[in-house]
Amino acid sequence: MNFAIAIHGGAGNINRKNYSPEQIREYEAKLAESLQAGFDILEKGGTAIDATVASVTVMEDSPLFNAGVGGVFADNAMVELDACIMDGKTLNAGGITTVHKIKNPIEGALRVMEDSPHTLLSGNGAELFVYQKGLKLVPNKYFHTKKRYEQFKKAQEKQKIMVDHSMGTVGAVAIDLSGNLAAATSTGGMTNKAFGRVSDTSIVGAGNYANNNTCAISGTGTGDQFIKSVFAHDVSSQMEYGRKSLEEAGKSSLKKLASLGGHGGFVAIDHRGSIHIDFNSTGMFRGFKNKSETFIAIF
Ligand code: ASP
């Protein structure tokens, strides 16, 4: 089996003119580090689940992305985080939403998947659960960055919910040596979103889905339309019931997303190990790595 990993660090109105060459290098280096973290695990025979967690963790720990440290602010001036993980072999999944203190939200989602009879935990209950499972809690300030706070202030002045200020949701999909698929996604959501708002990222089948019969997929963009079009599951369903290829299914689901006024993109791997990345926004932080190729791009 040809193991592989694909990642994204958010899609949106990403134009080269808004980034200095140094900033571009910084993003590319972090994407490369994230890819390598997942790839190393796959190469040693590790699982797709562990690989996606490792890749997402690298980006959660970086202030460059809208997940973990550097997450955007909700309208209550707090960083509220969401994440989801799914195992394509068992269709087991775990998500956490609207949490303020879980240092690595993707680890929290993993604990829900592995140790809870439930699939999606929110707020205080999610924090208590993962704390009892031994994960680290941190004060909300741990996630705050000056850049995100300034964006929040601007959004408040304009009384807008800003998705284009919120680029940097992160995600990873992988296929391991045994042919198992997994998807993991983590976000701070949208700048100035309503306190308590739940993202597509945390919802199985909306921003994150994996099924060994079809594909693993992680999305990013205007989450409310991803929820309404049940985006990730829509891609998988078109493959399963409509016998479409990943590429055909992805194109059709992106069209549906656009018809609802949504934009963004996704990274995906099908059950044969073919990678497909697509977006209808101007850019997406993205990359993939398999035994023969490493690819990283932004614009
Ligand atoms: N999908 C995320 C959300 O709506 C945001 C993003 O991907 O940039 O919360």
Atom of ligand 1 nearest to the CA of 226: 1
Atom of ligand 1 nearest to the CA of 82: 9
How confident is the model at residue 165, as a pLDDT?
61
How confident is the model at residue 2, as a pLDDT?
87
Q: Tokens standing for 24?
A: 């571009």
How far is it, in rounded angstroms, from Cα 228 to Cα 195?
Answer: 20
DSSP string, 160-217: --BSTT----EEEEEE-TT--EEEEEEE---BTPPTTPPPGGGSBTTTEEE-TTSEEE
Q: Compute the chain's Rg from CA coordinates.
A: 17
**Cβ of 221 less than 6 Å from ligand 1:** yes
For the segment 214-249, what is each residue's pLDDT rounded down to a tens digit? 999 999 999 999 999 999 999 999 999 999 999 999
For the segment 95-147, what is each residue's pLDDT rounded down to a tens digit? 999 999 999 999 999 999 999 999 999 999 999 999 999 999 999 999 999 99
Residue of 187, 218, 260 best suited for mutating to test ligand 1, as the one with most atoms within 8 Å of CB: 187
How confident is the model at residue 12, as a pLDDT?
87
Atom of ligand 1 nearest to the CA of 11: 8
Terminal CA-CA length for the chain? 31
Domain 4-297 carries which CATH code? 3.60.20.30
For the segment 40-55, what is each residue's pLDDT rounded down to a tens digit? 999 999 999 999 999 9
Residue of 151, 169, 230 best suited for mutating to test ligand 1, as the one with most atoms within 8 Å of CB: 169
How far is it, in rounded angstroms, from Cα 19 to Cα 173?
Answer: 27
pLDDT > 90: what percent of the chain? 93
- Among candidate residues 47, 52, 98, 169, the one labeled active-site is 169
Domain ranges across the chain: 4-297
**Cβ of 200 less than 6 Å from ligand 1:** yes
Active site residue 169: yes
